[in-house]
Amino acid sequence: MYIPAHFSETRPEELTRIIRENPLGILVTHGAPGLDANHLPFEFDAGAGEHGLLTAHVARANPLWQQCPTGTPVLVVFRAADGYVSPNWYPSKHKAHRQVPTWNYEVVHAHGVLTIRDDERFVRGMVGKLTRRHEAAEPQPWKMSDSAPDFIDSLLRNIVGIEIAVTSLVGKRKLSQNKEARDQAGAVQALRERGNGALAQVMGSAP
């Protein structure tokens, strides 16, 4: 990923934030059939190992876990807020006419090494963590014990766990940091007016 210095994000807390707020990662692999990408919700333990540990699961019918055995190098892409930015939103454009369209975004690339975890205890624990996290905001959070044990057992047998020991986290926040303050403010206001409050918020707080 090409990263100009003014768009580079290296702060661990920001890299972790982007991953945890946008847990649906794109797992990119290169097995015998060639390149592949799977979209999976991940759990991230930032304190495990030097750069953290990602966990997820795939359907047993998904060939990924057989085509990419333990030890396979992989990449997971986590994309956060993004959106088109018009040059018309920059006040300086209307005087100098030296601005062009662009696209702003936040993204983290997690490089790591894959481990296949085809055991029921691991899968059950991982699914429990995912459920507790994503059900936490519900008035009555769903939990696995809400369903019949034999039903849950049958579903768990049909998935395979994966772990990714992260070897590096590469972050990019392209948020108009290379523009004048008035141009940054103009873009933030225009994004809010057009309903892209998520991108406007992160642009407004970018260093």
Give residue-wise pLDDT tens across range 6-64: 999 999 999 999 999 999 999 999 988 899 999 999 999 999 988 999 999 999 999 99
CATH homologous superfamily of 5-82+101-177: Electron Transport, Fmn-binding Protein; Chain A (2.30.110.10)
Whole-prediction pTM? 0.92
Sequence-distant (6+) residues with CB within 8 A of 163 are 53, 54, 55, 114, 115, 117
The answer to whether 187 and 199 are in contact (CB under 8 A) is no
pLDDT top residue among 35 and 205: 35
Q: How far is CA 122 from CA 55, 57, 125, 129, 150, in A?
A: 10, 10, 5, 11, 18
**Looking at the predicted structure, is the pLDDT value of residue 190 above 70?**
yes
Indicate the domain borders of the chain: 5-82+101-177
Whether the per-residue pLDDT at 97 is higher than 80: the answer is no
Task: Give CA–CA dist 70/162, Å, rounded.
Answer: 9
